[in-house]
Amino acid sequence: MITVLSGVWALLLGIVLIMLGNGMHFTLIGLRGAIESFSPTALAIITSGYFVGFLSGAQVTPRLIRRVGHVRVFAALGSFMSAGLIAFPLVTEPWAWTALRVLVGFCMSGVYVTAESWMNHAATNETRGKVLSAYMIAQTLGLIGAQGLLTLGDAGTSALFIGASILVSISFAPILLSITPVPAVEVTRPMSLFKLFHFAPLSTVGIFLLGSVYATQSGMGPVFGSEIGLTAPQISLFIAMLFAGALLLQYPIGWLSDQMDRRMLIFGGSIVGAAACAFGWLTGGGLVALLVAAFIAGGVTTPLYALFLAYTNDSLAPEDMPAASGGLVFTFGLGAISGPLVTGWGMQVIGPYAFWLVLAATFAIIALYALYRMTQRTAPPKEDAESYLNVLPSSSPVAVEAAGAWAAENAESDDQP
């Protein structure tokens, strides 16, 4: 493992720093938005703006790289992202923040595409699984660490936004000073939603709903905390628990996915997520109970994303996997745009605890649909199942396709005598 990491340590360090800055800004939006008296609906629109930009960036960045190269795209997007982060406290208006969130989301998606293409190029068939795991851990640790950094300043000032901008700015130094440019990234054209639903109805519907869950947790979680009167350190801890759960539960759920019908695991994970959210709603604001609910609900979200990708690949030919992965990433993005809007409306009409109600209802719908699909199609034979894909919902199509290629190669090697 040390030998593997020696070739990508600079990239992983840069990713940790980027996630520190991006993670700070995600939670800061909810904290500062409450100080500025933004309504939950306004903050929901601002949150969705990030995912609009993220989805657009995933489509546009590969074309930019082909025109001007990795280094120029990476540096330009990093500069715009850093400028966007530092601009938030300058114009504290919902319309301005929405535009800035679209910009930051676009740049962040482009950064992912560029960094992940470098990572994929640096890995070999033998090391790709370990590199992807290290990349996932680096991302998650950065997001968790960002919540700790938020306790060092006051969200009512510009200091934390400036800190996030600085972290993003310096994150590019270890990457750009150590990475050799590689040929332009090629991302497979995503499979159409109609064709994707025909091949994998459970994954198409499920990953759309899961996009709603993920965006609501990461974007509206700080808004919920502010609305019920949690302090800034408590909100930071609450958000950290969402990602800590994802980090710790990914591997045991991944192991289980290779031992049983993945649809049953999707059903069980969704039921656990719905129960955790119902628990969060029923506790009435007790901090310990909220942290437990966040740990479990966040802990099943990321593994469910990987399960949907793996289950889709179980029923596809290897040549169709990249296009299907791209289609699922796009579908996830559509769900991520819609989820905060529904949650923000619910919090505006019902109250802050609609945050948990929307999450619980969405998890429950995923579980019911998985149960229904189990009555419509037999499970793929275990010997035909692809390996579990260890990727995060925030990954770009580059990492998802690389993980899919690794899974297919790994399955083929297992089949050989």
Residue 270 and residue 363 in contact, taking contact as beta carbons nearer than 8 Å: yes
Class of domain 9-415: mainly alpha
The string of pLDDT tens digits covering residues 332-374 is 999 999 999 999 999 999 999 999 999 999 999 999 999 998 8
Instruction: Estimate the crossing angle of helix 40-68 against helix 201-215, to 10 degrees.
Output: 120
- Alpha-carbon distance of 11 to 34, in angstroms, equals 35
Of residues 184 and 38, more confidently modeled: 38
Rounded Cα gap, residues 242 and 169, in angstroms: 26
Amino acid at 15: I
User: In angstroms, rounded to a whole number, what is the distance separating the alpha carbons of residues 204 and 29?
Assistant: 30
Query: Amino acid identity of 99?
Result: A
Q: Report how far apart the first and last C-alpha atoms of the chain are (Å, whole number).
A: 26
* Residue of 246, 406, 404, 247 lying closest to 311 (CA atoms): 404
What 3-state DSSP class applies to 126?
coil
- In 10 A of CB 393, how many CB atoms? 24
**Does residue 227 or residue 391 have the better pLDDT?**
227
pTM for this prediction: 0.90
403: CB partners within 8 A, 6+ apart: 132, 309, 325, 389, 390, 391
Cα(278)–Cα(270) distance, rounded to whole angstroms? 12
266 near 212, Cβ under 8 Å? no
At 62-84, the pLDDT tens digits run 888 878 877 788 888 989 999 99
Q: What is the pLDDT of residues 271-309, one digit of tens each?
A: 999 999 999 998 876 889 999 999 999 999 988 988 888
Domain boundaries, the chain: 9-415
Mean pLDDT of all residues belonging to the chain? 85
